[in-house]
Structure 1
Amino acid sequence: MGIGAPPAQWAMGMAEMMVTDYPASLAFWTGPLGFALAFERPAQKLACLAHPDGAQVMIYQRDGDWETGPMERPFGRGLVVQVYVADADAAAARMRAAGVPFYVEPREKWRDWGDRMGGQREFLVQDPDGYLVMVAERIGERPLGQV
């Protein structure tokens, strides 16, 4: 039986990550990353986590199911979980306060979106299993080629 209720609105895409230490991962995601526990199955060590700004992820204790190959740290090689927030500077401050090292320090980054440039304040950290997490705040758009 689960604790809490599933989100009223499920995200249309959601990362579901296998973890080696469920309590440590839960503390990381609900601590400095700012997610809240939306739903938990304690017997399965599974949690659906929701961020106040709208992102959702699931974590669960590795159980041998769905492992498509050897699991070695860092997990999720080639995967970046993006979490958009309203205030990236505040999120970075929580990381610093928690002693979480930055994989990429906070920065402003502008990228080609095809017909325009999109900007964001962003930083990257790794969760306890090495999953790479980009925390970003959208800061605007501008015409292509504008610096």
Structure 2
Amino acid sequence: MVPELTVTDFTASLYFYTEVLEFKIMVRRSDPEFAYINLGEAQLMLEEYHAGGWDTAELVKPLGRGVNFQIEVDDVERVLTRVKQHDVPLYRDLRENTYHIGDTTACQREFLIQDPDGYLLRFSQFIE
């Protein structure tokens, strides 16, 4: 599954994802502005809001209410350092969480931030 996020300021969003979070551009086109980006195996699409878009209702910030996008990374500290260097406010600070899955448990370190439109991003690294 590759989520496509409608963004209100494409330039600001693309900068945030590529310069702050270090996503790489896989595909870029305009009219409307669009980018298919990745960070490791995580993939997202960004498309600037336009009248012909697939918006089911009026877009009111924060966008993406009720969803968070978990982005698994190999080094969550590296991402957190970049976020802090760019003065991005943390929605939830780095912490270790344990999730019980049947007879096993999964442990991960994670933090959450919001992108320029308010989409909630959860960066996580699995730990043993």
CA RMSD of aligned residues (A): 0.9
Deviations 1:56-82 (A, max 9, x none): 000000113211112100000001011
Instruction: From 75, 97, 119, give the equivalent of 1:109.
Output: 97
Instruction: From 16, 35, 41, give the equivalent of 2:29.
Output: 41
- The CA distance in 2 between the partners of 1:114 and 1:91, in whole Å, is 30
Cross-structure match for 1:125: 113
| Structure with more strand by fraction | 2
- The CA distance in 1 between the partners of 2:114 and 2:98, in whole Å, is 22
Instruction: From 57, 72, 77, give the equivalent of 2:44.
Output: 57
2:12 maps to a residue whose letter is: A
Q: How far off its partner does 1:41 sit? A: 0.8
For residue 13 of structure 2, give the secondary structure of its aligned residue in structure 1: helix
- The CA distance in 2 between the partners of 1:72 and 1:15, in whole Å, is 18
Structure of higher CA gyration radius? 1
Whether 2:62 is the aligned partner of 1:74: answer yes
Q: How far off its partner does 1:96 sit? A: 0.2
TM-score by length of 1: 0.83
TM-score by length of 2: 0.95
Deviations 1:59-116 (A, max 9, x none): 0001132111121000000010111100001110000001100000011111112231
Q: How far off its partner does 1:43 sit? A: 2.8
Q: How many residues align?
A: 127
Instruction: From 94, 98, 109, give the equivalent of 2:86.
Output: 98
Cross-structure match for 1:27: 15
- The CA distance in 2 between the partners of 1:31 and 1:113, in whole Å, is 35
**After TM superposition, which residue ranges in structure 1, 4 or more long, deviate above 6 angstroms?**
none
For residue 69 of structure 1, give the secondary structure of its aligned residue in structure 2: coil
Unaligned runs of at least 5 residues, structure 1:
1-12, 141-147
